[in-house]
Amino acid sequence: MGAPFLWSWSRHRLFSHCQREYWFHYYGARNGWRPEADPRTAEIYRLKKLSGRSQWLGLLVHEAAATVLRGLLWRRPEDEAALRATLLADARQAIAIARGQAPAPDRGPPVRFLALELGEDPGDAGWEETLADLALRFDDLMVHPVMRRLRQVPGRMIEIDRLRKVRLDGLRLYVAPDVLVDDGEGGRVIVDWKTGRSHDPEVVARQMAVYAWWVAQYDGIPVDRIKGLQANVPGREHLTVSFDSTLVDAVRSLATESIAAMVAPLPDPRRDQAPESAFEPRPVGDPACDRCRFRGPCGRADPRSDPKSDS
């Protein structure tokens, strides 16, 4: 089955979580950056671009990991102390700009935080905790056993945080493994940095199986010669993920069914346009709505005036 869009694991999870939130993210925000966009579309686009603090920290850690590994691959190793200092200084400046305590940058859009949109500025102490968390994650990343091993074999790294658009079994997918490594024995290792506090091993295995499916098809390597490494930061733990044809087949079926469900509400899938009414919101009063960035456009209470947002 063909698809009018590129499928990804994150797209699947958002659709499964809330179809109306999915519509806002992928359809309602479309072209909202244009000057001629109508006010509602522009507002949806603005809300889409808000960053959760944990999401933002994870992005910064992923970028730091890619910077360090590319330096090793290109034989221009980074000064890690300088990289750490710059990372924290830039993060502190981004927070000050978002809080209106510093002027916006001349280049590039500033980071805007969901917490501030919800009227939940944690104050100076809270933001200092955020910066301390970032420093901890960076420090743990630099001494993580998986990072130490990658330092030993820089020439074996094949891909580093590269977003690819691929076609697998007639489906168009996004794949973006954090690191893809030749194991030196004819196989591959897929490294996935996990920067949250907890992860479901079964969900991680299915997510990484999408990458294994791609590697097996494009490199012609049997899936049982491909391994995954879930490397947790903060912390120094890692989990090895093994793949087999059963797991990959299950992920292939999941992607096919997921795409079919996403296409079903579209009047003309070839145009990839969707009416908002075709995507059901969560029931009124659902706790999952309490922190949704699209509560305003969705017709739910303004999160800044909802007492629940202060609890």
33-57 burial: b if 16+ Cβ within 10 Å, else e = eeeebeeebbbbbebbebbebeebb
CA separation for the pair 274, 265 (Å, rounded): 7
Residue ranges per structural domain of the chain: 20-149, 155-263
Which pLDDT value is given to residue 307? 32
Closest CA to 127 of 139, 140, 116: 116
| Virtual torsion, Cα 273, 23, 302, 307, nearest 10 deg | 170
Phi, psi of 105 (to 5 degrees): -70, 155
**pLDDT of the residue at 302:** 53
**What's the pLDDT score for residue 308?**
32
Among the residues of 74-169, which ranges form H helices? Answer: 80-98, 114-117, 123-143, 145-152
pLDDT at 254: 96
- Report yes or no: 291 and 47 within 8 Å, Cβ to Cβ: no
Q: What is the pLDDT of residue 297?
A: 95
* Residues sharing a CB contact under 8 Å with residue 150, sequence separation 6 or more, in sequence order: 69, 72, 157, 179, 181, 191
Per run of 10 residues, the mean pLDDT along the chain (length 311 residues) is 73 96 96 96 96 94 97 94 98 96 87 92 96 97 97 96 93 95 96 85 92 95 96 92 95 95 88 90 90 91 40 25
155-263: what fold?
Lambda Exonuclease; Chain A (3.90.320)
Q: How far is Cα 105 from Cα 85, in angstroms, rounded to an integer?
A: 19
Q: Which residue has the tokens 């903060």?
A: 234
Measured CA to CA, the distance from residue 285 to residue 301 in angstroms comes to 10
What number of H helices and E strands is found in the chain? 11, 7
Q: How many angstroms separate the CA atoms of 196 and 240, rounded?
A: 17
pLDDT attached to residue 174: 94
